[in-house]
Amino acid sequence: MNDRERRRRRKRNQRFKVFTLSLFCIFAIICFFSLIFLVKIKYKDSAIAAKKDFTENMKIQDLGTESESGNDIIQTEETLSEVLNVEKEYERILSLSPGVCAFQGSLPEETAGRLFYEGDITQELPRIQGISYQENPHVALTDLAYLRMLYYGLDGNTYVGEMIVNQKIKEDVLHIFRELYENRYPIERMVLVDEYAGEDEASMEANNTSAFNYRTIAGSDKLSNHSYGMAVDLNPKYNPYVKQVNGSSICQPESSGAYADRTKEFDYKIDEYDLAYQLFTQAGFTWGGSWNSVKDYQHFEKE
């Protein structure tokens, strides 16, 4: 074989190699694009399925949201109605006169709590001027506080109460009577002593719980602690003032003789186990039932 033949064969081999390599490259490219095409088709199908699922889920969520929104609206309307009813009831009781029944049974706590407060005593001046309050050098009107409260009546219903006390003890008194109300402690009546023309005996006979009354201690010229608004008389008919004179008991009010003997058990009796006794003494008040010379079982005072 001469050199020319060798060169020809070598060229043919090179062309064959190039051709074979080209075919391989073309095949590889075709395979590559085919694979991409297949992947795209599969991805598209998955995307369509996912989109469909997402759309269906959103529809379900929208239905749920609409349902929840509807419930929320209903609950909001119910809550608003409740608030309006509570506010309406509060305003109604505010407008009632002291001594009037405000509610059958006990008021809900959210309403009752707002009805223990200090009012404007100057608005009460026309009622008390010249009766329980008189111009004097000892007690100024500004030393006193007019309180509006609730009390739990002997019949188990809620009543509107009022009381005038010294500014120094107003917070104590508000707290004590709120506790008494929340514990359904029975009180028969709670209005100003002016409703009885300032007559202490008449107020006690009516079993009226009261505080301020500018007067002297019975049988003396000394001012009572009631004159300063520093004393409270609670359920006085069942817890009388008792004094021993020549071996006999003198009671105030006069009709309370049956309750002078404290060894007996009866309703509305104040003793060391009584809630009122505990609340008043914890707040620093002295109980008249613990005095030696006389006994004033209705009486709590603070120096």
Higher pLDDT, 262 or 81: 262
Does residue 274 sit in helix, strand or coil?
Answer: coil
Domain span at residue 229?
101-301
Number of domains in the chain: 1
Q: Looking at the domain assignment, is residue 82 inside a domain?
A: no
Predicted confidence at residue 247, as pLDDT, reads 81
Confidence tier at 144 by pLDDT (50, 70, 90): very high
Q: Looking at the domain assignment, is residue 93 inside a domain?
A: no
42: pLDDT strictly greater than 60: no
Confidence tier at 54 by pLDDT (50, 70, 90): very low
Q: CA-to-CA distance for 125 and 199, rounded, in angstroms?
A: 18
Q: What angle do CA 120, 275, 225 make, to 5 degrees?
A: 50
Q: Looking at the domain assignment, is residue 65 inside a domain?
A: no
- Return the closest-CA partner of residue 212 out of 142, 145, 125: 145
Predicted confidence at residue 27, as pLDDT, reads 67
Mean pLDDT across 183-187 = 98
Q: Looking at the domain assignment, is residue 2 inside a domain?
A: no
Q: Looking at the domain assignment, is residue 291 inside a domain?
A: yes
Q: Looking at the domain assignment, is residue 181 inside a domain?
A: yes
Of 170-184, 209-223, 283-297, where does mean pLDDT reach its minimum? 209-223
Q: What percent of the chain has pLDDT over 70?
A: 74
Predicted confidence at residue 40, as pLDDT, reads 54
Half-sphere exposure of 4 (CA within 13 A, CB side): 0
Does residue 157 sit in helix, strand or coil?
Answer: coil
Higher pLDDT, 193 or 62: 193
Q: Looking at the domain assignment, is residue 12 inside a domain?
A: no
Q: Looking at the domain assignment, is residue 222 inside a domain?
A: yes
Q: CA-to-CA distance for 15 and 7, rounded, in angstroms?
A: 12
Confidence tier at 216 by pLDDT (50, 70, 90): confident
**Burial bucket for residue 214 (CB in 10 Å: 0-12, 13-18, 19+):** buried
